[in-house]
Amino acid sequence: MPRTKIACLGAGSLYFPGVLGDIAITRGLAESEVALYDLDHDKAKLMAGLGKRLSQAAGARLRVRACARIADALDGAAFAVSSIGGSGASMGGVYGTAAHDADLLIPSRYGIHQVVGDTAGPAGMMMGLRSVPAYLAICREMQKRCPDAVMLNHSNPMAVLCRAMVKYGGIERVIGICHGVQNGIAQIAGLLGVEPEHLEIVWIGTNHYYWFTRIRLRGRDVYPEVMSKAAARPAPHGQQMSQLLSEAYGCRLVYCEDGHALEFYPYLAQLRDPTEMPYGYGEHTGPRYAELEQRWRQRRRKPTPAQQAALREKQLREYEERLVKCGLPQPSSAIRGEGIGGLIDAIASGRREVRIVNIPNRGVVSNLPDHAILEVEGVTDSCGVRGIQVGAAPLSLMGLLQKRIAWQELVADAAAKGDRNLALQALLLDEMAIPPEKASAMLDELLAASRDLLPPFT
């Protein structure tokens, strides 16, 4: 097949060792160009070194280079792969940054305690408000440099970012990449003692929250068996809430960890403190909030230039040590892992394959809005991915998703327009909503804490 250019944006993210490895072992992408760009150019250069090593190990002959300018990375690219946390240049990704610590700590003082904070709730909203402007800037650059490129986004909040790019970015082919459905299928396969490839599963949902509506094994309906086996065992940590809700709904709610699914329910806004989080999360997450407070206090003490330089050197050394340990991954597929190399190869060559992606609904689920970003099965071809129709969502799921889709739209609009009132409306619509006067005060604190990373909000 013809060589292709793949731009990796936010290339210093520790998501990219897996991406580079997957590209390297995908034969159809041999000799492709991989251009790496990050706000922290030193990290991009170190990641480029890893990419060259992985290419050599796989015999892929990739042309891997770090770019000092995003224009260089995107110029003539056929694909852009992004992992951008919306927290500026940081050594450890978005989690643990001052911005995300504030996303968690400020709401906790108003009685909202979050486990992950990247998909819903105040923290998920703030990640979207910070990230959307950066993504729209990328889209503007893509319009100039590679208007026909496919944007593959890995960042959260997935649905908000993809919706904003589709609605405001002028890029037609936007695909969100995650692995939650694949992990959920692996859960079911483990429960039944079979290989994931032997299952025929249909699901409905948005990123980090979906229900399996059909489960078949070689043509046989095994849904009753799955429900019976799941109910007969003690639910492991991370599946306790989803197991109870699955029994109530009569439909299997699956994500690899309840920590994400909890963000779609109001339970975390009914607690006195984080140690009271249900389903075993208080034991793990409660102490983490104490660490966040300690980090918050430490950050108020500004280091000297010499201390900053020493810290920077230490962080880069540790980052490089992590990359040294990275090797070629096991081959992934449409059902195991994210399979990003295979997805790029299938679209680049116009090959039809069924893949798990986040794309606009456009009739896939008949009783949800066409514009909603859903996590679906889709068929690849040279135009991108087309979703496979699955019918209507059950009533309870439809109600939950309609509200969540409206929240995603409000956050995308608020971020694109810098509209404080739309952001407030999103907070009031969220499952973890608090009274409007408190929500307004909390929003002002959140916006102030991220002021350096946000456009003006009015």
| Rounded Cα–Cα distance for residues 388 and 153 (Å) | 20
Residue 105: predicted pLDDT: 95
* Number of structural domains the chain divides into: 1
Whether 254 contacts 212, CB under 8 Å: yes
Q: Residue 385 above 80 pLDDT? A: yes
pLDDT > 80? residue 307: yes
Q: Cα–Cα distance between 118 and 100 in angstroms, integer? A: 9
47 Cβ contact partners less than 8 Å away, ≥ 6 residues apart: 8, 11, 12, 16, 17, 20, 36, 38, 66, 323
The pLDDT of 410-428, averaged and rounded, is 98
d(CA 324, CA 124): 32
C-alpha to C-alpha distance for 106 and 240, rounded to whole angstroms: 28
Q: What is the mean pLDDT of residues 161-168?
A: 98
**Res. 90 pLDDT band, cuts 50 70 90:** low
pLDDT of residue 300: 77
Residue 346's closest CA among 385, 387, 381, 388?
A: 381
**Smallest Cα–Cα separation from 165: which of 145, 144, 148, 140?**
140
Which residues have C-beta within 8 Å of that of residue 361, sequence separation ≥ 6?
Answer: 368, 369, 370, 371, 372, 373, 374, 376, 387
Identify the band that residue 356 occupies on the pLDDT scale cut at 50, 70 and 90: very high
Q: Which helix (H) or strand (E) element contains residue 100?
A: helix 98-108
Which structural domain, as residue segments, surrounds residue 114? 1-458
Residues ≥6 apart with Cβ < 8 Å to 215: 188, 199, 200, 201, 221, 222, 223, 226, 252
Answer yes or no: are the C-beta atoms of 73 and 35 closer than 8 Å. Answer: yes
Q: Name the token pair of 441.
A: 């005060």
How many whole angstroms separate alpha carbon 56 and alpha carbon 30? 11
Which value, in Å, is the radius of gyration of the alpha carbons in the chain?
A: 22
- Between 86 and 320, the more confident residue is 320
pLDDT digits (tens, 9 = 90+) for 96-127: 888 999 999 999 999 999 999 999 999 999 99
62-71, pLDDT tens digit by residue? 999 999 999 9
Token output for 397: 């799921």
The CATH number covering residue 372 comes to: 3.90.1820.10
- Give start and end residues of each alpha helix (H) in 195-280: 223-232, 240-249, 258-261
Q: What is the pTM of this model?
A: 0.96
Check: CB of residue 29 under 8 Å from CB of residue 4.
yes
Counting Cα atoms < 13 Å in the Cβ hemisphere of 292 gives 24
**Contact status, residue 110 vs residue 442, Cβ threshold 8 Å:** yes
